[in-house]
Amino acid sequence: MDSVSVVRVTDEEALALHAEGRPGKLQIVPTKPLTTARDLSLAYSPGVAAPCRRIQANPDTVYDYTARGNIVAVISNGTAVLGLGNIGALASKPVMEGKAVLLKRFADIDGVDLEVDTQDVEAFINCVRFLGPSFGGINLEDIKAPECFIIEKRLKELMDIPVFHDDQHGTAIIAAAGLLNALDVTGRSIQDARVVMNGAGAAAVACANLFKSFGLPQANLIMCDTKGVVYEGRTEHMNAWKAGHAVATDARTLEDALKGADVFVGLSAKGCVTPAMIRSMNPRPIVFAMANPDPEISPEDVKSVAPDAVVATGRSDYPNQINNVLGFPYIFRGALDVRASTINEEMKQAAARALAALAREDVPDEVRAAYGERRRLRYGPDYIIPVPFDPRLITRIPLAVANAAMQTGVARKPLTDQDAYRRTLQARLDPTANRLERMFAAVRERPRRVVFAEGEDIRTIQAALRFQAEGYGTPILVGNEEVIRSRMQGLKMTASTPIAIHNAQLSPHSLTYRAALYERLCRRGFLDRDCRRLVNHNRNVLAASMLIHGEADAMVTGLTRSFATSYEDVSNVIDGHTPAGIFGLSIMMMEGRTLFLSDTAVQTAPPALGLAEIAISTARWAKRLGHVPRVAFLASSTFGHPDASCGEASREAVRLLDQRGEVGFEYDGEMGADVALDFPLMKRLYPFCRLTGPANVLIMPNRETAQIASKLLAHSTGVALIGPVLDGFDKPVQILRPDATASDVVTAAVLAAWQVEG
């Protein structure tokens, strides 16, 4: 259940992502300077001897002097990889890297993937048990049943760190949270509910165990496998774990078992449940059809016979997604932070209760807005479990787990200040990625028509097809239809619905576009024939004309021409509308922070008023992406030392903002980049500076320095660049860099679509 969302991707796209640049999805980056010989002497020999001796004398100090307390090993032998089966240890490595990425993305935990090449249970156990000193926790993954039960039990006995098989307990915790709320909204109690479970593997057994720990009576759960009901006295195709859930019943098939049942929990295979079976259940049935990627029965088929049913699946394109990413990153976070020796039943229950409680609270406006009206995020039948990108998860689940660990005596470093811990959790994650995901979700809710001016480029075609397939809207390609169709065929990519292709030579609107363009440009030295040529032969002009005349909602270009050329083409058709004018914002996402740099694309040397307006608009972008803006007007000087001409406009911009009164964000300048980004340095040398933390919005004195800085940062290790994002055109337009990938084009198209109402 680990998929963050159900997005259609081709094998070619996935292979390209994993292979491009540095192969794979992970790298190790040092956290201490290693520049000089002295740095190396401190970090390694002879300096490293000091922490070694300290740890030898007091083993608990390993958490003070090493990264052990924030490292989780993701370990598998590849015998039960979701959707792929027993593919072996080596082939499972991309999945384990992916799991490590999720730990980092959602809980700021460093995951290290380890693929153990054995299917021998004892050999696997011995391999893992001796790795204990290296890690703060062990995440077992994709190991087939029943071996996974033995492995986890033995390792929990042998190791003094949390050992957690997510396929079992992660699924169980999320499903239990959903079940508690589903029972509540249908007016049932867990003590009286009749539950039928189809599936008897690792996840199913764990779900059954956790449900019973919440009060579900043994006799009220009927488990089924591929051979039918697991009943008392059955001897064939049984094991100890199934036998623990055998009940006295006359039912022998899934169909028999579902008659008069309140709840169906599916952890099995597509299509094994029919509408007739759902009809035989009690009124207001609860149906958790969690087979991935296709559920045991579709929500539509359930609703066709039981409109009042509460339905959950493993998919993001339906309400109530049972997704493990809601659990395991945060459970490990809480366990690591109190140095828990294990993850026990009480900690699992605490995580499930915290998830269930969170779903009953009012959803923040920004989360609700992202998912739109189609997904009513209000506690009830269609919202019994939080959505994966709810920012409250990082504070609620780890705290609940940590408290349960303390209450049960397995925490070796109890929390002393819960409010401070909440603040620490909140600070662990940069909100940018969450807000961007919500932005993408918002566009899915309100799809737009986006015109891709360079429709014949392979990257554009790939991006347009992905844009459509992922539900962001309707792509319109500008170019020669025969060429585009041929290239689509060569890529072996097909559209779910026909892709619109526009060619100026064939467009019925060309005369309208030409007349409007001539009226606009005739006093700027353009003749009628110039405008005819622009509309007929310049695809940027055609795409921009479509935008102005309502044939599209947004536009993307830039792959085949320089930024300056594309910008000039678009400016011939579309004006700017903001006090800041048109400017480019580069968003730099890096370890621990996001920086917003402006203007990195358009204005050569903005005057002071222009800098002030750009700062206001850029701060607005920072707020939209979840940040409290702290604006630094940069220059080569800091508060007049040394005096530099490039600082004059920055100083004046600060004065102009002062005259406005309250602008809603912190700002100061002029200052050097070193001072802006190094808060201790700022406070030590310039205690009068108004910023209360390191700057995250950097207003550059001119385009030249902005582009140099942004390009240097973009090629630094661990930095992800979005942009430059254009702001200020009358209509949403994004101009890409010529080296942009198909993924960059999709992102630009989504940003442009979001700007329609953003």
Tokens (6 digits) for 415: 């929390």
Which of 278, 217, 214, 222 shows the shortest CA–CA distance to 248?
222
Q: Active-site residue numbers?
A: 44, 99
Helix (H, G, I), strand (E, B) or coil at 161: coil
- The half-sphere exposure of 745 on its side-chain side, counting CA atoms within 13 A, is 30
Q: Which amino acid is at 512?
A: T
CA–CA distance, 2 with 740 (Å, rounded to integer): 29
Residues 6+ apart with CB under 8 A from 195: 211, 216, 220, 221, 222, 261, 262, 263, 264, 265
* 321 DSSP β-pair partners: 313
Helices (H), 36-119: 37-43, 49-57, 62-65, 88-91, 93-107
With residue 164 as reference, give the H or E element that holds it: strand 163-165
Find out whether 371 and 316 touch, Cβ atoms under 8 Å: no
CA–CA distance, 155 with 149 (Å, rounded to integer): 10
Question: Maximum CA pair distance of the chain?
Answer: 93
Tokens (6 digits) for 612: 């002030």
The strand pair at 720-727 and 583-590 is best described as antiparallel
Token pair 């764990």 is found at 206
Tokens (6 digits) for 292: 């991935």
**What strands lie across the sheet with 720-727, from one edge to the other?**
666-671, 630-634, 697-699, 593-598, 583-590, 720-727
Which of 451, 446, 444 shows the shortest CA–CA distance to 548?
451
CA–CA distance, 446 with 756 (Å, rounded to integer): 10
What are the b/e assignments for 215-225, b being 16+ CB within 10 Å?
ebeeebbbbbb
Bond before 670 cis per omega within 30 degrees? yes
CA–CA distance, 186 with 285 (Å, rounded to integer): 8
CA–CA distance, 729 with 523 (Å, rounded to integer): 21
CA–CA distance, 753 with 449 (Å, rounded to integer): 8
SS (H, E, C) 259-318: CCCCEEEECCCCCCCCHHHHHCCCCCCEEEECCCCCCCCCHHHHHHHCCCCEEEECCCCC
CA–CA distance, 327 with 357 (Å, rounded to integer): 14
**Residue 392 backbone dihedrals phi, psi, to 5 degrees:** -75, -15
Find out whether 682 and 632 touch, Cβ atoms under 8 Å: no
CA–CA distance, 372 with 22 (Å, rounded to integer): 37
What are the b/e assignments for 74-93, b being 16+ CB within 10 Å?
bbbbbbbbeeeeeeebeebb
CA–CA distance, 408 with 385 (Å, rounded to integer): 26
Which of 703, 469, 693 shows the shortest CA–CA distance to 605?
703
CA dist list (Å): 243 to 9, 83, 95, 624: 41, 26, 32, 54
Token pair 């008392």 is found at 232
Torsion of CA 514, 518, 520, 525, to 10 degrees: 140
